Amino acid sequence: MSAETPQRAVSNGAPDNEEDTFEKDLNEMLQDAPSLNDSCSTVQSGSPRKIATAAAAPPTTFNSNPADSSHTRPYTGPPEQEATSNIPLSSPQSNGDFVPKGSVTQTAVSKIDTIRSWSLNTYKCTRQLLSEKFGKGSRTVDLELETQIEALRETQRKYCNILRLARSLTNHFYYVVQTQKALGESFSELAAKSPDLQEEFTYNSETQRTLSRNGEVLLGAMNFFTSSVNTLCNKTMEDTLLTIKQYENARLEYDAYRNDLEFAQMGPRDSNSIPKVEDAKTKFEEHKQKYESLRADVAIKLNFLEENKVKVMHKQLLLFHNAVSAYFSGNETALDATLKQFNIKLKTANSSKPSWIEQ
């Protein structure tokens, strides 16, 4: 029993000696390693420094049991790296100001000037319009031109009424023609099924078919009439009225700047008022030129419109009269001659659209 105890003590003492050796090596490595302050300065300055030296390298092998050499494992330390940093230590200086490009600045300034000019012009025109409505402001009046404009508007109202009635007549007459056609077909069927009344049904059927055929010819003339009157009212006259509207707006601007010029000239003459008077005079001349130009355009268009209206309505009224008279008098030859006279081609149900060469 006494012999076993020393052997157990020796076997337990071997690991203690190994642990003491490992702690001794670890202390030597920590003593030889650079201090923490040196490491921090190395990272901040970016200069390469080696973390560990060859003398302070840890043991390459670690054996927990020296009696068994088969369990020895190699220990490889971390590779030597250069402690460098790519982060810039100084931040770029910026005062936070945004300097736009020259073209962007120029565009913004031009837009602001346009908005300012439009707002000022709108204000002056609105003030002039309200002063005219309440009878406190003066306006430029061309009596002859104003009379012609009012006559044109009255003419358009009357012609639009004629157009409305002509369309209504055409629609109603279309249903009359369709009814006559259906009635003629019914008479024809009854003539085939009623031998006793075959003759009576037959000539009534032929009469209704003739009326429906002539009615389709009259419908062609009426459609041509309504189409021409519609073009005259809603295109030709409307174009002239659009120019008249532009002329009235120019007249309003002209009077607004004329009143501004008169008001500026009534004030005292000093170094501050003279530039304002000159600016008002320049703008007044610009709007005066625009007003006179549009007034001349309106006068020319009114004359052309009157001549065109006479030519168009002379032709259309003659067509309408001849076609209606020939239809209700039963003169089929005169009705066909009327359509040929005015070059009106009827569209049949089986007619195809003309090719692009014929158009």
Mean pLDDT of the chain: 77
Q: How far is CA 15 from CA 11, 22, 204, in A?
A: 8, 11, 138
Least confidently predicted of 10-19, 104-113, 313-322, 337-346: 10-19
Backbone φ and ψ for 102, nearest 5 degrees, come out as -65, -40
Q: How confident is residue 326, by pLDDT bands cut at 50, 70 and 90?
A: very high
pLDDT at 81 over 70: no
pLDDT at 90 over 60: no
Predicted TM-score of the model (pTM): 0.62
Residue with the bigger pLDDT between 172 and 341: it is 172
pLDDT in tens, 159-172: 999 999 999 999 99
Residue 281 CA to residue 275 CA, distance in Å, equals: 10
Q: Is 257 exposed, middle or buried (0-12, 13-18, 19+ CB in 10 A)?
A: buried
Residue 103 has what pLDDT? 65
Ordered structural domains, the chain, with CATH: 143-346 (1.20.1270.60)
Residue 287 CA to residue 265 CA, distance in Å, equals: 18
Q: Which of 55-64, 303-312, 347-356 has the highest mean pLDDT?
A: 303-312
Least confidently predicted of 239-253, 262-276, 322-336: 262-276
pLDDT at 186 over 50: yes
With beta carbons less than 8 A apart as the criterion, state whether 238 and 160 touch.
no
pLDDT in tens, 128-144: 888 878 877 788 888 99
Q: Could you tell me if residue 96 is left (phi over 0), alpha (psi between -120 and 50 degrees) or otherwise beta?
A: left
Q: How many other CB atoms are there within 10 angstroms of residue 31's CB atom?
A: 8
Q: How far is CA 273 from CA 270, 280, 284, in A?
A: 5, 11, 16
Residue 164 has what pLDDT? 96
pLDDT at 286 over 50: yes
Task: Output the six-digit token pair for 221.
Answer: 């003339």
